[in-house]
Amino acid sequence: MKTTRIHYALMIAIAGSAALAGCNRNQDAEAPTATTAPMSEPAPVIGPAPAMGSEPAATGVSVTSITVGNTAAEDRSVAAMSSLGAKDKVIVSVRTEGAAANTTVAAKLTYQDGQVAGEESQALSTSGSETTNIEFSNTEAWPAGRYTVDVTLDGQPAGMSQQIEIK
């Protein structure tokens, strides 16, 4: 009876060794692909990312200035303000230069605790200088505090964040 148990133990050990040897053989066959150079991160895109749609994305459009205020003039310019009232409209004026076809200009207004107070976007098609105003309004009074305004051009950051305070 002892011999049978030893035979079973030896058969299991041999079967396990054969299985492990088979696994090692498959790993050896795959070794050349595992030793190839690792893929690197893609290079960052400079400029706007391609827009989705039937028209080609803008080539060579860039944001030249971002101004935050509460009133826009006839030419869409906005006087820069660092402090706004709780019932004021927040206007983000984005000045662009270059050619754009169906490019998305977007602005996000974030409260000091990280909560998004609003996100708006507009399509831009231009062949020169253009000012796009994105407005945020609140039916209630804006909570007092610091807000950050971030602008993107086709989903890519378009410049430094702007800080405003609502009192």
Reading the chain (167 residues) residue by residue, the pLDDT tens digits are 555 566 566 666 665 555 555 555 444 444 443 333 333 333 333 333 333 333 334 458 899 999 999 999 999 999 999 999 999 999 999 999 999 888 999 999 999 999 999 999 999 998 999 999 999 999 999 999 999 999 999 999 998 899 999 99
H or E, element range at 15: helix 2-34
Token digits of residue 1: 């009876």
User: What would the two tokens of residue 61 be?
Assistant: 């459009």
φ, ψ for residue 72, nearest 5 deg: -110, 140
Gap between the Cα atoms of 137 and 129, Å rounded = 26
100 token code pair: 């754009």
Nearest to 163 by CA among 83, 78, 48, 43: 83
CATH of 62-166, one of 2.60.40.2550, 1.10.20.10, 3.20.20.70, 2.60.120.560: 2.60.40.2550
In this predicted structure, what is the pLDDT of residue 26?
47
Residues 6+ apart with CB under 8 A from 59: 47, 99
Cβ pair 71, 88 in contact under 8 A: no
pTM: 0.64
What is the C-alpha to C-alpha distance for residues 103 and 125, in angstroms, rounded to an integer?
7
